[in-house]
């Protein structure tokens, strides 16, 4: 899975916004814009003039992973590839703009579940280029770099040639490290693209409040050593110091025992896990409850781990993978993890 997630963006380019010519409604909107540029024809009614006027707050220009796009109006037909972009869109109240989702990888936030299920699922994994085109989008929002995999025909340039704008989660723009601030910036950027900056500001304020309340609750508590278990049997595939997960752990009153691993993810030996004596194991979930139980069973069955405090005391906290990515879930993860690390502070 992570081989795809960490792939660099394969095609970077700069252009102004183009709309898909396959969607009749979008083509009509484009014609209206062109007519507006030539002046209002004599005798046109007030209603027609209002329809041709630029959208309030536009144009908006965004630089995203080397792609510069100018939006003259908010996108109206959106496909999201991967779950965290879909949740961000829904949290901004943009369900009516969404014509398809793809690649759900964990349970959706309860308050978003009904809206999420109302949007057509195009594919269980990344959809083909043709499948996306069939939904007639004017905007595709990708969560991982693999959303725009060139070797699968979904490069950003291919979508541009089809008249479709694209946006890639900033976590995969080549930054060496992301932070909670990147989450807030992502929300504000999407809010500006869709003409709902006030909603974005309100959402950021709510998420900051959640994080602030959790941080306040655990203030002064001893840092709990935490080992992140993503996967692996011969070695442990874990979160390194450059992961957003490490900041989530710190804000929740813990310490990632592999924060010195100079990467977002990497392998650690089981001997290292034993030596670092984690008191809590955070299990990343991206394949459902059965997979989580298998991971717990594996950890509890290893004789070499029997004396690890977290294993001995069966202290596990489950975090969906989406909670460790740039999106709306990381602040929720701070709350959940803080309760798991310091339950005494929440009684």
Give me the DSSP letters along 133-161: HHT--SEEEESSGGGG-GGGT--HHHHHH
Domains of the chain with CATH codes: 2-174 (3.40.50.1980), 220-346 (3.40.50.1980)
The pLDDT tens digits along the chain (347 residues) read: 433 433 333 333 333 344 444 443 433 333 433 334 444 444 444 444 444 556 788 999 999 999 999 999 999 999 999 999 999 999 999 999 999 999 998 889 999 999 999 999 999 999 999 999 999 999 999 999 999 999 999 999 999 999 999 999 999 998 778 899 999 999 999 999 999 999 999 999 999 999 999 999 999 999 999 999 999 999 999 999 999 999 999 999 999 999 999 888 999 999 999 999 999 999 999 866 568 999 999 999 999 999 999 999 999 999 998 999 999 999 999 999 999 999 999 98
Place of tokens 């089981």: 270
Report the pLDDT value the prediction gives residue 288, as an integer from 0 to 100: 62
In angstroms, rounded to a whole number, what is the distance separating the alpha carbons of residues 309 and 257?
Answer: 13
pTM of the model as a whole? 0.82
Please provide residue 40's backbone torsions phi and psi, each rounded to the nearest 5 degrees. Answer: -80, 125
Q: Listing from the earlier edge strand, what are the strands of the sheet with 316-320?
A: 254-256, 224-229, 280-285, 316-320
> Which residues are CB-contacts of 70 (< 8 A; sequence separation ≥ 6)?
16, 17, 59, 60, 61
**DSSP single-letter state for residue 173:** S
């Amino acid at each position: 899975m992570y081989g795809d997630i960490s792939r660099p963006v394969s095609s970077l380019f700069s252009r102004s916004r183009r709309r898909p010519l396959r969607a009749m409604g979008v083509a009509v909107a484009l014609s209206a814009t062109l007519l507006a540029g030539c002046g209002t024809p004599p005798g046109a009614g007030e209603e027609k003039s209002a329809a041709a006027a630029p959208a309030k707050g536009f144009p908006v220009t965004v630089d995203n992973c080397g792609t510069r796009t100018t939006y003259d109006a908010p996108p109206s037909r959106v496909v999201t590839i991967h779950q965290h972009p879909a949740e961000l869109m829904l949290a901004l109240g943009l369900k009516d703009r969404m014509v398809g989702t793809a690649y759900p990888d964990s349970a959706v936030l309860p308050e978003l579940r009904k809206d999420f299920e109302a949007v057509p699922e195009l594919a269980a994994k990344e959809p083909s280029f043709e499948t996306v085109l069939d939904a007639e989008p004017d905007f595709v929002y990708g969560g991982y770099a693999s959303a725009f995999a060139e070797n699968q025909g979904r490069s950003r340039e291919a979508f541009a040639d089809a008249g479709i704008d694209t946006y890639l989660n900033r976590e995969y723009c080549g930054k060496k490290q992301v932070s909670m601030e990147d989450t807030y910036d992502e929300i504000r950027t999407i809010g500006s693209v869709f003409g709902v900056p006030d909603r974005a500001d309100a959402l950021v304020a709510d998420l900051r409040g959640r994080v602030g309340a959790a941080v306040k609750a655990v203030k002064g508590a001893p840092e709990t050593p935490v080992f992140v278990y993503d996967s692996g049997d011969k070695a442990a595939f874990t979160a390194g110091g450059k992961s957003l997960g490490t900041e989530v752990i710190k804000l929740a009153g813990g310490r990632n025992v592999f924060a010195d691993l100079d990467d977002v993810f990497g392998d650690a030996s089981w001997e290292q896990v034993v030596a670092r004596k984690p008191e809590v194991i955070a299990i990343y979930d991206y394949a459902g409850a059965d997979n989580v139980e298998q991971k717990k069973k594996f950890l509890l069955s290893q004789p070499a781990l029997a004396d690890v405090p977290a294993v001995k005391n069966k202290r596990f906290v489950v975090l969906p993978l989406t909670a460790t990515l740039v999106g709306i879930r990381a602040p929720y993860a701070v709350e959940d993890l803080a309760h798991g690390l310091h339950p005494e502070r929440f009684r």
